[in-house]
Amino acid sequence: MEILSPSQRFLLLEYLAVLRHHLNEWLIVEAKLADGTGEDMTSAGVGELLQRLFPGYEGRILICNKTEVLMVIKWGTAESPTQLTKKVRAELPENTCEMITTTPTREGLRKIELMIAPPAAGENPFYKARLARRENIFLLADDDMYIRSLTKVGLKGLGTVIEAGEGTQAVAAYKAHNPDILLLDIHMPGLSGQEVLEQVKAWDPSAYVIMLSADSSRENVQWTHQHGAKGFLTKPFNKAKLLEWVDACPTIK
């Protein structure tokens, strides 16, 4: 897989034009280095890491600037993007890599963001407690009993599931149980899911929140990502989609 310099950006654009007939087989990976990552982790180093980890894949890697790397890779449709994240995360210092997904384009092109930062989250007392805990805890906040039942079946055997049927109860349950994952419906009585997200993130910036909604409009998805949610599940969802996000959570045992 070829690495391109910033001055070769046009080569990546030309490459993307060639892919337009099979976009659903391709994946855009945007790796971002946060402030304070350190001299031992550079964008060029991340580019070399991606090149080394995926030698048999078709694609291109662009070193955009000092803090951003863009990779276009033929990932296929069989494997989840979370598998790529796990492979990258295994090569980095513990608790330094988080994944965020974005809505696929209308043509089916998928994109994920890898946020690479110092392991500051590990200093967060709530995050440290989740890492040290021996069991997984899930908080499922949704006023739809059918969705709660369906989700509990999908999580069976993976840990304890705490349920909340309205927003105020969800905030209280989060503070009481410090869950590894909060599965949060957008439309709930009392506080909305968006209000719950804002309160939870203000209390615990390391919270791992997946939003749930039957309304997967671009505006909804973008808002949740902008306000700290890790991902978005469109209801009704299947077990495989649910477990992709469980598998991507760094504190899940």
- Tens digits of per-residue pLDDT, 203-232? 998 899 999 988 766 677 777 777 788 888
What residues form DSSP beta bridges with 72? 28, 60
Higher pLDDT, 197 or 216: 197
> CB of 167 within 8 A of CB of 211?
no
> CB of 54 within 8 A of CB of 15?
no
**What is the spatial distance between Cα 75 and Cα 154, in angstroms, rounded to a whole number?**
26
Q: What's residue 103's pLDDT?
A: 61
Higher pLDDT, 215 or 190: 190
**What is the spatial distance between Cα 215 and Cα 124, in angstroms, rounded to a whole number?**
33
Q: What's residue 208's pLDDT?
A: 92
Q: What's residue 37's pLDDT?
A: 63
Residue 106 has pLDDT above 80, yes or no: no
Q: What's residue 119's pLDDT?
A: 61
- Beta strand pairing call for 209-213 and 68-74: unpaired
The mean pLDDT of the chain is 85
Percentage of residues in the chain with pLDDT exceeding 90? 36
